[in-house]
A and B are shown apart, each in its own frame.
Chain A
Amino acid sequence: MTSTLKGITLKGSAELVAEFFSFGINSILYQRGIYPPESFTRVTQYDMSLQLTTDGKLKDYLTKVVAQLKEWLFDCTVQKLVLVITCLETNEVLERWQFDIEYGCGRRTKSIKTIQDEIRSVIRQITATVTFLPLLETACAFDLLVYTDKDLMVPEKWEESGPQIIDQSEEVRLRSFTTSIHKVNSMVAYKRTDSA
């Protein structure tokens, strides 16, 4: 996967980041209850146990998106990945998990272990943020949006969409991790509950 001699390559970094996204999205879906917890199974990754979905359709969708993301990460054309949670009844956006991607020079050599530790702390923080996020009481569905460069060619089966911004949102910045080639900043925005 990665040449451990001199550090990370662009390809290896892209794979690491894509892997993080796939596990991160799975844990968000599990934590927020978008899919029933019975449809998840426990796996071990980054020295911790994470939940991975067993739903076939969902798995297909995620693999498609992650594969495309890997390509874009390799091309350094992707700027953000956003997981949007919408309420099905009212069609309004309730939560927005945004991952900003910044590109570095890759001079600093970082071992995979440190990168994995950083990823682990990010995922732990994602799990912890669930405590203060408002409950999703209605049936919700999620969508994955990718912010890319404008001059990119839109691949088949992909289409342009709006940014799905929440009105009256509260934003919380979470941890970030870097592979010295890619730096991923995470944040979560949720709709302000008017009762507060």
Chain B
Amino acid sequence: MVLTLTTTSTTTIRQYTGGLKMDMEDNTTVFSTLKSFNSFISHPEPPKRHSEQPAGSANLQINYKRSMELLDAAERVQSKSQYIQLDQEKKQMELSHKRARFELEKVATDSARDLEREVDRNQDLLGRIKRLEEKVGDAAKNLSEQSGNNKVLRKNFDDLNKKVLERDVRLNTANQMISSLHDEIRELKQTVQNQDCTISTKNLEIQSLQEQLDLQRRRYQEMSQLCQSLQSAQSSCSEHVNKIKELERRLSLQEQDIALVRTMRSEVARVQDLDKEVRRLREDNAYLRESRENSSLLKEEVEGLRRKLERMEKTNEDLVNSELEKERLIEKLQAWENLGQSTGLNIRKPEDLSREVIQIQQREIALKEQNYTLSSRVRSVDRSQSQLQGEASQQRSKALEEQKKRETQDALVRRLQKRVLLLTKERDGMRSILESYDSELSHTDYSPQLSKRLREAEDILQKTQSHHLEMEGQLTKAQEESGTLKLQLQSVELELESVRKQQSSVAESNSGMVIEEVLLLRQKIEDVEGERQRLEEQNNILEMRLERHSLQGDYDPVKTRVLHLKMNPTNVAKQQRQQETEALREEVTRLREHLRSLKDAGPLALQDDPHTGSPGLGLSLPPSQEVLDLRKQMESSEMKNKRLKEVFQRKIQEFRTMCYVLTGYQLDVTTENQYRLSSVYAEQMDDSLLFKKGSSGIMQLMETEFSKTLGEMVALHLHHQKSIPAFLSAVTLDLFSRQTIF
């Protein structure tokens, strides 16, 4: 019972403690209660121990006391727990109080914030109110201003009204003026109408006057036509006069011609002599022409001969070349012929050579055949060798197999022998046993059985012996066979070696002799072929050349001749050409002489032409009047030019001398845009100033020896004052002063 109480109390305590985990004070109270409880529990134990031995009834009382004490303790514990509970509730209440306070505080803060916000809003609103008040004040000001403006505008309006009234008054006056003007216009219109009438009358007058004008014009035209006819008549008259003059001139010319004719008649008498001379000259001409033709023919002959010469020279050269070639070929031939002597063969003609070559070729062929046969033999030998090798290998394998068989057979034999021994021993043993049995037992009817057995055993023995003999025989046979095979192998190997040796020996023996010959022959053949190709090429080239030449028209002068007609178109054309050229040349010379004569004669050609008419020209152009007029104009213009030039020169000279005298400087233009000034008072002839006109039109002073001496004046007048006239005048003053002093 006590224990259960304690457990219940502890459980209640634990329950309470479990509910109050937050408060340390509660735990401590719990621990303190537990301690007291434990101490209480432990306290009754010693008395328990002390009172183990007394009687059982005292125990019951003690137990009852103890249970009462325990109950008290439990009640105390319960009360304490209740106290604790109340404490806890109080604390909870405090907590809740605190929470409520927190919440209140929060609410307070929130409300404070709201308050602040409200305060701010208030302030904003106050500010807005102020601004609005200000705006109101401004609006009131504006209003007042506007009212002022309104008043001003009203005043203006009144003024304008007054002006309008004045204008109305003026309009009325203007209207009155207009009406008066209209009256005036009516009067003017009337005057205009009057004037129109007068105009119409005047137009009629004008028409009549125009008709009179037309009449006058017609008369004028008639008069002008009459004038023109008069003028034409006058011109025809002048023409007639000119014609008369011309005719008079012709008459004069004819009179002159008559005079000429008279003189000609005198000359005609000389004609006969001239005829003779002409005939002689013609004969000479003909002779000269013939000689010229002959000369041309001769020239052609000469040309032909020259060409023949050239051809001959060419043929000569060709001859020489061919002779050289012939010599070369002869040398070659000799070399070829000597071949026979050099090689020791009987060679005199190329046929022998070819024969020899053929023989050599045949020998070569034979040798080749031998070679081929030998090689075929070698191949066959190789093949047989390979076959034998194969067989040998087979035999070896067979021998190995036989050996193995023999060994197995030997083993079998040994085993059999052992078995035989054993069997014999067994037999001996059996026999001994049998004998013993026999000895032991009686001599009964076992002997025929024994003898049968004996016989059977002996038969078996014999069989085994014979079998053994057979096996031995087979073994020996196999051994013999392997021995023979080995012998065969050895013999074949020996053959192979011998064949190989033969081959090598054969090869060596062949190469020695034949190859040398073959090489020599091959070389010869190559040389011969090379020469043949060269000769063929040369032949081709020569044939090409020949064909080319024949295409070009070359020919063998020994066999062929080139002919053509004497009067062939080329000759004719050439002659014509020559004649044309000669005629042209003659004309050219004639024209040149005429030109010269015309230039030399000039204005005198008019009168002297019939007399100076150059003989042989045959052209005497009478100088026309136009030419004379033009010549006169030319002369007059030339005279004018000359006079103008003289006048210009005089004027220029005057001007220059005046400039020199007045300004004291002589101006010369040395080159374009360069002007040389030389002063009157210059100490030396060479002293001069050079001015150059720049591209921009500014005059610049150039360096001369004289200008170097005037450095100060240059600096002063040109650089500072920038005035050339001042500089020049300073220079003249300076020179003048120098002159007067010295």
Contacts and interface: CB of A to CB of B under 8 A. Distances in A.
Contacts of A57: 569, 572
A161 B551 contact: no
A142 B570 contact: yes
B255 to A, nearest CB: 53
A1 interface: no
A148 B561 contact: yes
Contacts of A147: 555, 560-562
Given A152-B561, A160-B562, A162-B562, A61 B553 contact: no
A129 to B, nearest CB: 14
Contacts of A79: 555, 560
A99 B626 CA distance: 67
Contacts of A154: 561, 563
**For the complex, would chain A's binding face be called helix, strand, loop or mixed by DSSP majority?**
strand
Contact of B569 (A82, A141, A150): A141
Contacts of B211: none
Interface in B562-577: 562-574, 577
Contacts of A64: 565
A96 B563 CA distance: 15
A189 B552 contact: yes
B734 interface: no
B569 A146 contact: no
A171 B304 contact: no
Contacts of B557: 150
A165 B553 contact: yes
A143 B574 contact: no
Interface residues of A, number: 43
Interface string B279-314: 000000000000000000000100110010000000
Interface centre among B303, B557, B563, B568 (most CB of A within 10 A): B563
A53 to B, nearest CB: 11
A25 to B, nearest CB: 11
Contact of A149 (B300, B552, B561): B561
Interface in A143-189: 143-150, 152, 154, 157-166, 169, 171, 173, 187, 189
B567 to A, nearest CB: 7
Nearest to A146: B563
A145 B550 CA distance: 15
B554 interface: yes
A139 B577 CA distance: 10
B303 A144 contact: no
Interface in A77-99: 79-80, 82, 84, 86, 88, 91, 96, 98
A85 B300 CA distance: 18
A50 interface: no
Interface in A11-29: none
A128 interface: no
Nearest to B303: A162
B580 to A, nearest CB: 10
A166 B552 contact: yes
Interface residues of B, number: 30
A145 B564 contact: yes
A135 interface: no
Contacts of B559: 149-150
Nearest to A171: B551
A127 B569 CA distance: 22
A100 B557 CA distance: 16
A18 B550 CA distance: 22
A3 to B, nearest CB: 31
A160 B563 contact: yes
Given A148-B560, A162-B307, A157 B553 contact: no
A58 interface: yes
B566 to A, nearest CB: 5
Given A157-B565, A157-B567, A165-B553, A150 B558 contact: yes
B693 interface: no
A96 B553 contact: yes
Interface in B525-575: 548, 550-555, 557-574
B553 A98 contact: yes
B561 A160 contact: yes
B628 to A, nearest CB: 45
Nearest to A167: B552
Contacts of B561: 147-150, 152, 154, 160
Contacts of B304: 160-162
A115 interface: no
A65 interface: yes
A119 to B, nearest CB: 21
Contact of A143 (B303, B558, B568): B568
B552 A158 contact: no
B307 to A, nearest CB: 5
A144 B564 contact: yes
Contacts of A161: 300, 304, 562-564
Interface centre among B307, B555, B565 (most CB of A within 10 A): B565
A166 B304 CA distance: 15
A152 B559 CA distance: 10
B564 A189 contact: no
B565 A65 contact: yes
Interface in A88-131: 88, 91, 96, 98, 100
Given A58-B569, A143-B571, 14 more contacts: A57-B572, A61-B567, A65-B565, A79-B555, A143-B568, A144-B568, A149-B561, A150-B560, A157-B565, A157-B566, A158-B563, A159-B563, A163-B553, A171-B552
30 contacts: A57-B569, A57-B572, A58-B569, A61-B567, A64-B565, A80-B553, A80-B560, A88-B574, A96-B553, A98-B551, A98-B553, A143-B570, A144-B565, A146-B562, A146-B563, A147-B561, A148-B560, A148-B561, A148-B562, A150-B558, A157-B567, A158-B566, A159-B565, A160-B304, A160-B562, A160-B563, A161-B563, A164-B553, A187-B551, A189-B551
